[in-house]
Amino acid sequence: MTMITIKWLGHAAFEIKMADKIILIDPFLRDNPQAAIKPDEIQKVDAIVVTHNHFDHFADAVEIAKKHGANIIAVYETANAAAEQGVEKTVGLNVGGTVKLDGLSITLTPAFHSYTSNPSGVVLSDGKVSVYHAGDTSLFGDMRLIGQLYKPRVALLPIGGFYTMGPLEAAMAVALIKPKVVIPHHYGAFDIIKQDPEEFAKLVRRKTKGVKVVTLKPGESYEF
């Protein structure tokens, strides 16, 4: 099996190397006090997935896409906004839709959050292994269906509270999704979403057996 690398860049931003592609998710870097790198430090990217158009997810996507000739993949209206700002390659699909880039499938999933364009999560799959990034969302019961349909090996879940799930709700999400590994994110960048990831890990251990909680610092990676 080809190695898959998931690097947390801070907040909800991740770099995922999978199926010989480098995918960025929600690259909020320049004005992110937590960010491991800035936009001009990114060396290569094939596609950028934007889960929704709030500034702390969409902020640097256009600049990075223009520099690297990368696709922006997002809900239709968000992709159109990127195109209007000069991004040449965009894919505007909708929740429930899938786009394929060579050997990589990118599927948008539901998320519950405020928006000016529908929020989403995303499942990346190389046909053998799936990774689920929940985007900004509350807990919702159909996360069980995401687990059943896509069987993500790794789930990337927000735990910050206030704007998204907190540790308790995210631990219940783990019980619904049943990944092998969960990586918390969307906490700590701002005072209002400060959380202790160890609290989340303890709650996961109480609610679900056999799930590994991997807590990363910005810039750190998990490989499998």
Largest interatomic CA distance in the chain = 48
Q: Phi, psi (5° rounding) for residue 222?
A: -120, 130
Given a cut of 90, whether residue 6 has pLDDT beyond it is: yes
Three-state DSSP class for residue 165: coil
Mean pLDDT of 56-77: 97
Q: How confident is the model at residue 1 (pLDDT cuts 50, 70, 90)?
A: low
| Domain assignment of residue 202, yes or no | yes
**Rg of the Cα atoms in the chain:** 16
What tens digit of pLDDT does each residue of 68-127 get? 999 999 999 999 999 999 999 999 999 999 999 999 999 999 999 997 778 999 999 999
| Domain assignment of residue 222, yes or no | no
* pLDDT value of residue 138: 98
| Domain assignment of residue 158, yes or no | yes
The total domain count for the chain is 1
Q: Which of 108, 70, 110, 67 is nearest to 90 (CA)?
A: 70
Mean pLDDT of 128-138: 98
Range of the domain at 151: 5-217
Cα separation, 214 vs 20, whole angstroms: 23
Tell whether the torsion through CA atoms of 143, 149, 150 and 154 is positive or negative.
positive
* pLDDT value of residue 116: 74
- Which CATH number does the domain housing residue 194 bear? 3.60.15.10
